[in-house]
A = this chain, B = another copy of it.
Amino acid sequence: MKERILDEAERLFWKYGVRSVTMEDIARKLGISKKTIYQHFSDKEQILYQVIEGKTGRDQFAMECMVVGITNPVEELLSVLSLMQKNADQISPNLLIDIKRYYPQAFAIFRQYKEEQIMRSILENIQKGISQGLYRADINPTILARLRVEQIELAFDNDIFPTDQYSMHDIQSELTHHFVRGMLTEKGFTIYNQFLNRGVQPIIYENK
């Protein structure tokens, strides 16, 4: 039952945000009583907390599975973009605004995930790119990894990119491609262009 409650809550939070979803809504959708929910969770914040813990764990797992077999760091960053875009399409902009403003404990899990997992994987990516000669040898890996981590957060900042003016899809695509291109060597550009030519991102990538 606990899992069913978490699954349903996740679906509702992702679709409508957190504030507008009540314990009543979750119970009704599952055809159970609110009392049953309170047997497992003390309040909505606790549900949210566990939903996010589960989600960041699964995201990390999905990312690790996806990059198995990808030995090329350019392709890796662009594949992570696809995963992020798939996620973004399913998320109500309200969700992130709600969490950031009203649920500091849940937001702290995001932050920790960002600090530990994302920072580490980007740093590894940059170091691999340099050693393979795809990224410039003169870049400072920690400064750029930090920039990238912050970019991911910027994309979710409603004051910087108001959701009524920008789509999360476009922001992530723009920032990711710009981030990758800013590091590429000539050899890196060859790999990058090959990847795009496979039709993964149908954009005009060179203005000659």
Residues of A within 8 A of B (CB): 130, 133, 135-140, 143-144, 146-147, 150-151, 154, 160-161, 166, 170-171, 174-175, 177-187, 203-208
Contacts and interface: CB of A to CB of B under 8 A. Distances in A.
A183 to B, nearest CB: 7
A53 B205 CA distance: 42
Given A178-B183, A182-B182, A183-B178, A204 B144 contact: no
Contact of A143 (B138, B139, B175, B181): B175
Contact of A179 (B182, B205, B208): B182
Nearest to A183: B178
Contact of A181 (B150, B151, B154, B181): B181
Contacts of A138: 203-205, 207
B174 A139 contact: yes
B206 A174 contact: no
B143 A166 contact: yes
Nearest to A135: B207
A88 B68 CA distance: 43
22 contacts: A136-B207, A137-B204, A138-B203, A138-B204, A139-B174, A139-B178, A140-B174, A143-B161, A143-B171, A143-B175, A147-B151, A147-B175, A150-B150, A150-B154, A178-B182, A178-B183, A179-B182, A180-B182, A181-B181, A181-B183, A181-B184, A182-B182
Nearest to A147: B175
A170 B130 CA distance: 19
A147 B178 contact: yes
Contacts of A139: 174, 178
Nearest to A179: B182
A206 B208 CA distance: 20
Nearest to A186: B208
Contacts of A206: 136, 185-186
Which interface residue of A136, A177, A184 has the most chain B CB atoms within 10 A?
A136
A119 to B, nearest CB: 11
